[in-house]
Amino acid sequence: MNIGIIGAGHIGATLARKLAACGHQIKLANSKDPQSIQTLADEVGAKAVTKEQAVSDVDVIILSIPFARYPDLKQTLSQVPEQVVVIDTSNYYPQRDGAIREVDEGKPESVWVSEQIGRPLIKAWNAVLAATLADQGQPAESATRIALPVAGDDVRAEAIAQDLVEETGFTALAAGGLQDSWRQQPGTPAYCSELTLPELKQALEAADKTRAPLNRDALMVRFMAPDSELTREQMVAINREMTA
């Protein structure tokens, strides 16, 4: 497939590398210009482009930008055909993104994003650490394969997103509609906790919408503590401990 990725940070670049390795044609864009990511694009097997080029003549668009920047993409996405699948990988952290009243009042993050960009989307790859995404994928037959939630309201688009998640080395779990996607947001048991498929199903069921933002903020304080250089394993353990 032809896939455009907007966002060349840890998640966006890792997805570009893994999906290019699977044979997809990848266009990669950031908020600056193609020249600023040319070396990265060459390294991961993608073509460095502008964000306007990234959404042109593609089957799938993956958005992996800071949460508060989504309103800036409305014009860029305005002419994209309806059949193009748009996938949101983002997460809201008010300490980083600034307070967004509607989300703070309980609107699911990806519902807010969908409203900002003016089109339906699928939420995927948001509940995984970049290091996990890069290095912990396993073959489909592995009993310990990590599962990732995929939420959305369009059956065809969700199926395409699930297939792509599987190609990156993880089991895709249909996690309900976009209104249910709060169950995979930061501060929930499903978020960045490296669970197998049965464990992930239980974690999504156990999510507490009231507790989740409190857990998220407490985790951010812990992760951002001075001289706190945590390994992937330590971050996963802390997520599991504080959201259980």
10-21 helix and 155-167 helix, angle to the nearest 10 degrees: 80
Contact 57, 2 (CB under 8 A): yes
Q: Yes or no: say if 8 and 33 are a contact pair by the CB < 8 Å rule.
A: no
Instruction: Examine the pLDDT at 83 and tell me if it is beyond 80.
Output: yes
pLDDT at 227: 73
Distance CA 210, CA 45 (A): 42
Query: Given pLDDT bands bounded at 50, 70 and 90, which one contains residue 224?
Result: confident
Interatomic CA distance for residues 131 and 117, integer angstroms: 28
Residue pointed to by tokens 């908020």: 31
225: confidence class by pLDDT, cuts 50, 70, 90:
confident
What letter represents residue 147's amino acid? A
Instruction: Check if the beta carbon of residue 33 is closer than 8 Å to that of residue 50.
Output: yes
Burial class of residue 23, CB neighbours in 10 A (0-12, 13-18, 19+): exposed
- Pull the structure tokens for residue 174: 């249909």
Banded pLDDT at 228 (limits 50, 70, 90): confident
pLDDT (mean) for 25-51: 96
Mean pLDDT of 44-60: 97
Q: How far from the centroid of its chain's Cα atoms is residue 185's Cα?
A: 10
Residue 140 exposed, middle or buried by CB count within 10 Å (0-12, 13-18, 19+): exposed
Per-residue pLDDT, 77: 97
User: Which residues are 236's β-sheet partners?
Assistant: none
* Mean pLDDT computed over 114-120: 97
Rounded to an integer, the average pLDDT of 56-71 is 97
Phi-psi region of 183 (alpha: psi -120 to 50; beta: other; left: phi over 0): alpha
The number of beta carbons lying within 10 Å of the beta carbon of residue 235 is: 19
pTM for this structure? Answer: 0.96
